[in-house]
Chain A
Amino acid sequence: MLEIRDLRVSVAGKEILKGLSLTVRPGEVHAIMGPNGSGKSTLSHVLAGRDGYEVTGGTATWHGRDLLALPPEERAWAGVFLGFQYPVEIPGVSNVYLLRAALNAKRRHAGLPEIDAIGFLKLVREKAKLMQMDESFLNRGVNEGFSGGEKKRNEIFQLAVLEPTLALLDETDSGLDIDALKVVASGVNSLRSPERAFVLVTHYQRLLGYIEPDFVHVLAGGRIVRTGDKSLATELEASGYDALRAPAA
């Protein structure tokens, strides 16, 4: 279970998250929506352990472990995955090399032997097929020369291979055309399971037409100002964020 209690985070001295609380249970899909600048990306980055975010108060635990005390790789080993809004291009490091290094580091940490080459290849091929990715993408540099849609698809492909228990998807829908959005959404849907939780950070309701959330939260001014079911997203689409901020305040 992800438990965030009164989380306060500053970036360059400016407080962005101002006492955010959120509970996400295994198997649930939560959507976090909010206007630009509300702190959505800060939330996903601080949970994944990016430098430059200063936690000034509160806690965040995943299955009882203090996430904020762990370096990024150990959060990954604990089951956390961040799908980037802007996936980084890493020429010279192939997709499969990255995934094998990541899988094996996690296995070593768990006291398991490294994955065998044939089993690994079978796994990545199967997951590439799921994401309708050409196998040639596997041996290309990570996101190197990928289109915006291919990058997002690659994020979900990595998610599928690494099988995290907590997937934070930061604006995964941004920059996607409708076909890519459908592929990404069906990838996510096929990965839903009773053990796995999803937190979808998104600006628009559009993604939620394809991935049905259990909860929708509105993040504004560094706090969650409203929580509801999927109908809240539809309501937001109709009325905009401004209308919702008032009743919560």
Chain B
Amino acid sequence: MTDTALTPGAAQMRAAHARLRERLPAGWPTDASGVALESFLTRGLPGTDIEEWRYTSLAAFAGRLASALEASAEAAAQPAADPPLAAALRAAVPGPVLCLTDGQLEPGADLPAGLQIRPAARLLPGLAPVGISALADLNAAFARDGLNLAVAANAGPQGVLLIHERAASATTVGQPRVRLSLAGGSHLSVVLLATGGSATTSNAVVEVDAEAGSVLHLVQLHEGAAGAQRIARTELRLGAGASARVTSVDLGSSLSRQDVVVHLAGDDASVDVAGLCAGPSGTHVDHHLDLQHAGRHTASRTLYRSVVDSGGRVVFNGRIVVGVGAAGSDAALTNRNLLLGPGAEIDTKPELEIHTDDVRCSHGATTGQLDPAALFYLRSRGVPAAEARRLLIGAFADELLARIGLPTAEAALRNRIHALLEAAGGLAQ
């Protein structure tokens, strides 16, 4: 099952972990950290022989991990230079900014009433048991800080909070870790901006515990850089009547893998999840969605779109599981993909797994190119070819970008997507 060649040797990893322990802050749960390490070592990094990783090889990631383990003793990591999007988005989000650099929370931001930062040491053990995901285990083993944010019961909408996860430029593998705990009836609106620089590597875990009746609006934005690698797992557990709106926008990097796992645990929980993946030339963007309907009368709406240029690759796997007790569930998934040129690749797979009667489920995926009739129509009006293509790509992306609800951020993202595709020639005829 596992390509053991991918994983650095157990002795090397244990030695690195022992060195890490000496530098961990007081009160850090080293037991939980050690358990996660051992769990990781029994499985190692998943290879492409495992279905969930079929299109995404971790070989280069493994190489960086091995060298980072050697170098980690003197990890005074500097943040990588921010990519162009970061400044625009930091300006566009009106609320406070919490910055996680190489997984370390920077002090500073004043939070509105109802929001509280809890000790990072309580991030472990994670909400999900060890052994579920090798990469989540790896994160738990080597994390040494993070953001543990709690929203008080019945706290009303607070504006938008920006969490900026910045990868470090040094030869580290960052293990950023975030937990958002929404007490019953509370509201939280968060933009999680993850940025990387040339040759940065990170392996993020975001956990959301949304108790009964809480409401979450989560936007995840990722912009890497040439050579950057980021793996991220976002796992939400929604209690009875809780609802979440999750939007992931990924502008790609050499490797970007995002798993979104949603447990509709309580009755009447609902999620509206969407993603926009841009795959400019030279990028590999892989999004996996795993939607678990467990409670009764749970609802999910899923909309993923990708726009891929020649030399880019996007993978989308959307899995919906309706459990035995999830009577009255309602799930719909659509996936639309736009290929901009020869040599653009999209691998898409919607999956439905239904273990109960009395459900409504639908799914569908389409892949195509820019509509030549629409292109001709625009050009016949005098819109130049490249601008016509940009208009149509923008129209394709806008429905998803509009979910963010921050017009300046949406405009910045749209412009950035165009610039990335333009630089790679995707807008040329």
Give the B-binding residues of A (Cβ under 8 A). Answer: 48-51, 71-73, 75-77, 81-82, 84, 87-88, 90-93, 97-99, 101-103, 105-106, 141-142, 158, 162
Contact = CB atoms under 8 A, between A and B. Distances in A.
B358 interface: no
Contact of A90 (B379, B385, B387, B392): B392
A92 B396 contact: yes
B382 A50 contact: no
Contact of B379 (A71, A92, A99, A103): A71
Contact of A49 (B372, B374, B380, B391): B380
Contact of A158 (B381, B391, B392, B395): B381
Contacts of B395: 90-93, 141
A73 B384 contact: yes
A98 B374 CA distance: 12
A73 B396 contact: no
A165 to B, nearest CB: 13
B415 to A, nearest CB: 15
Interface of B: 371-374, 376-385, 387-388, 391-392, 394-396, 398-399
Nearest to B399: A92
B378 A105 contact: no
B201 to A, nearest CB: 36
Given A50-B376, A90-B374, A101-B387, A76 B398 contact: no
Given A90-B395, A92-B396, A93-B395, A76 B382 contact: yes
Given A98-B383, A102-B381, A162-B381, A72 B376 contact: yes
A75 B384 CA distance: 11
Contacts of B381: 76, 81, 98-99, 102, 158, 162
Given A92-B398, A93-B391, A93-B392, A102 B376 contact: no
Nearest to A90: B374
B385 to A, nearest CB: 7
A73 B414 CA distance: 24
22 contacts: A48-B380, A51-B376, A71-B385, A73-B388, A77-B382, A81-B380, A84-B380, A87-B377, A88-B374, A88-B376, A90-B374, A90-B377, A91-B395, A92-B395, A92-B396, A97-B391, A98-B378, A98-B381, A101-B391, A102-B378, A162-B381, A162-B382
Contacts of A103: 382
B380 A101 contact: no
Q: Which of B381, B382, B385, B388 has the most CB of A within 10 A?
A: B382
A65 to B, nearest CB: 15
A139 to B, nearest CB: 13
A106 B388 CA distance: 14
Nearest to B381: A102
Nearest to B398: A92
Nearest to A87: B377
A144 B398 CA distance: 15
A50 B381 CA distance: 12
Contacts of B394: 92-93
Contacts of A92: 394-396, 398-399
